[in-house]
Amino acid sequence: MGAAMRRIHVGNALSAFGLGFTVPYLYVYVAQVRGLGAVTAGLVLAVFAVAALIVLPFAGRAIVRRGPLPVLLVALVTAAAGALSLGLASTAVTVLLAAAALGAGQAVMQPALATMIVDCSSAETRSRAFATQFFLQNLGLGVGGLIGGHLVDTSSAASFTLLFAIEAAMFLLLVVVMATVRMPHSPRIEGAPAAGRGSWKALLGNRAMVQLCVLGFVLFFACYGQFESGLAAYGVEAAGISTSALGTALAANTLMIVVAQFAVLRFVERRRRSRVIAGVGLIWAVAWAVAGYAGLGNGSQEMATAAFISTYALFGLGEAMLSPTLAPLVADLAPAGLAGQYNSAFALVKQLALAVGPAVGGPLGASLHAPYVVMFLLFSLGITVLALRLGRELTGVQDQPWPGKSRVVARGGAAEPVAADA
């Protein structure tokens, strides 16, 4: 890892640590501590998604034109202002405005940091770099949430103001760290499309990227979009899972990612990306089958709880397989110089899935237990089918870049192929 990549990873960890302080307690803070009610708290959570959907289409073009670092710095300052304002806000209007600023800044960080990782890595090191990013994000969120939980006091608004102030400080510290980064030019691989105008029309003309976006929507809809909504409601209503067991299940998911990430990386980094994603679909289908046993089987409550926790752990295993696969694939599909726009487009798809997932899964998981499990089991099998179809659209280098070391080209400027080995 070069100095720039080390700073980027520190930045990822700091931003996740800051978010971990506040995200788990946002609903309680708005609804109970500030006394603004459940409706306002729900609107705040919706504002996060809406703000992301509004800014991400513009973020991609800004990254292409200005570079990822200036865009990241603006996003960090915006998020810091939003976090601090949220900690001081006491009315519905000020809370919603602060949440919009925090949500917009947070949304732009993701593609900006991803583009910086692309620019500081090669085709051979990119998967490991994104796996490290995912590992540090989960570790930062977990540690931040754990410390934040010991600092908050629902009877004291000042304790929550402290949390949001710490989050703002993390973002500002990250501004200082990122301002020292010296970005290299992005390395390219032979077979990537030539640079173009960067329009959305051109992006939609890239069949492989469109298929990857469809696949990504299903992935995020069927997994991340269910964690704290449909699957949690299903566990409580159908399987009789206690709130403490639900917390244990979420911890098992994070623990699986932290423990398995680099062991899984050794397994997936020299295999075809499309087949790795297809394998994730099969693993998640098993996870939904286990969830079905937890809620619909005739075993004891202890067995149901163990099965439900195993479901979250299996999801974590799939996530660990995806982290070194999806983001590098987006980068390798992007024309030279347009990684920022492609990262923003994929982040936009993710936000759409995270907005639709809870709205669909929440009511189903709470009331229609069997249809809920069957539907998402089929979605998981659909991931496998879509991944195998995507593999037919990818070049050999895009699907499995590591054997193509001789095809990696020089850094910077227009890509010129290096002579392949005989």
For the cut 90, the answer to whether the pLDDT of residue 214 exceeds it is yes
Query: What are the two backbone dihedrals, phi and then psi, of residue 76, each rounded to the nearest 5 degrees?
Result: -65, -45
CA–CA gap between residue 166 and residue 22 (Å, rounded): 9
Give me the pLDDT at residue 275, please. Answer: 92
Give me the pLDDT at residue 22, please. Answer: 75
For the cut 70, the answer to whether the pLDDT of residue 421 exceeds it is no
CA–CA gap between residue 340 and residue 51 (Å, rounded): 19
For the cut 60, the answer to whether the pLDDT of residue 422 exceeds it is no
For the cut 60, the answer to whether the pLDDT of residue 171 exceeds it is yes
CA–CA gap between residue 15 and residue 224 (Å, rounded): 19
Contact by Cβ (8 Å): 311, 230:
no
pLDDT band for position 118 (50/70/90)? Answer: confident
Give me the pLDDT at residue 257, please. Answer: 85
Give me the pLDDT at residue 282, please. Answer: 95
Give me the pLDDT at residue 115, please. Answer: 84
For the cut 70, the answer to whether the pLDDT of residue 401 exceeds it is yes
Q: What average pLDDT does this structure show over 131-147?
A: 78
Burial of 196 from C-beta contacts in 10 A (0-12 / 13-18 / 19+): middle
pLDDT band for position 147 (50/70/90)? Answer: confident
Give me the pLDDT at residue 406, please. Answer: 35
Q: Which amino acid is at 37?
A: G
Contact by Cβ (8 Å): 285, 291:
no
Give me the pLDDT at residue 190, please. Answer: 43
Alpha helices in 23-91 (DSSP H): 26-28, 37-66, 68-88
pLDDT band for position 403 (50/70/90)? Answer: low
For the cut 50, the answer to whether the pLDDT of residue 283 exceeds it is yes
- pLDDT tens readout for residues 336-345: 777 778 888 8
Give me the pLDDT at residue 359, please. Answer: 75
Give me the pLDDT at residue 74, please. Answer: 93
For the cut 50, the answer to whether the pLDDT of residue 85 exceeds it is yes
pLDDT band for position 408 (50/70/90)? Answer: very low
Q: Which range has the worst mean pLDDT, 4-8, 32-36, 229-233?
A: 229-233
For the cut 70, the answer to whether the pLDDT of residue 105 exceeds it is yes
- Mean pLDDT over the full length of the chain: 80
Query: What are the two backbone dihedrals, phi and then psi, of residue 66, each rounded to the nearest 5 degrees?
Result: -105, -15
Q: What average pLDDT does this structure show over 208-233?
A: 84
Q: Give the DSSP per-residue string, 125-167.
A: THHHHHHHHHHHHHHHHHHHHHHHHHH--TT-HHHHHHHHHHH
Q: How many CA atoms lie within 13 A of 330 on its CB side?
A: 29
pLDDT band for position 193 (50/70/90)? Answer: very low
Closest of 299, 414, 344, 313 to residue 112, by C-alpha: 344
pLDDT band for position 228 (50/70/90)? Answer: low
Q: What average pLDDT does this structure show over 377-386?
A: 93
- pLDDT tens readout for residues 296-337: 766 678 888 888 889 989 998 998 898 888 888 888 888 777
Give me the pLDDT at residue 420, please. Answer: 37
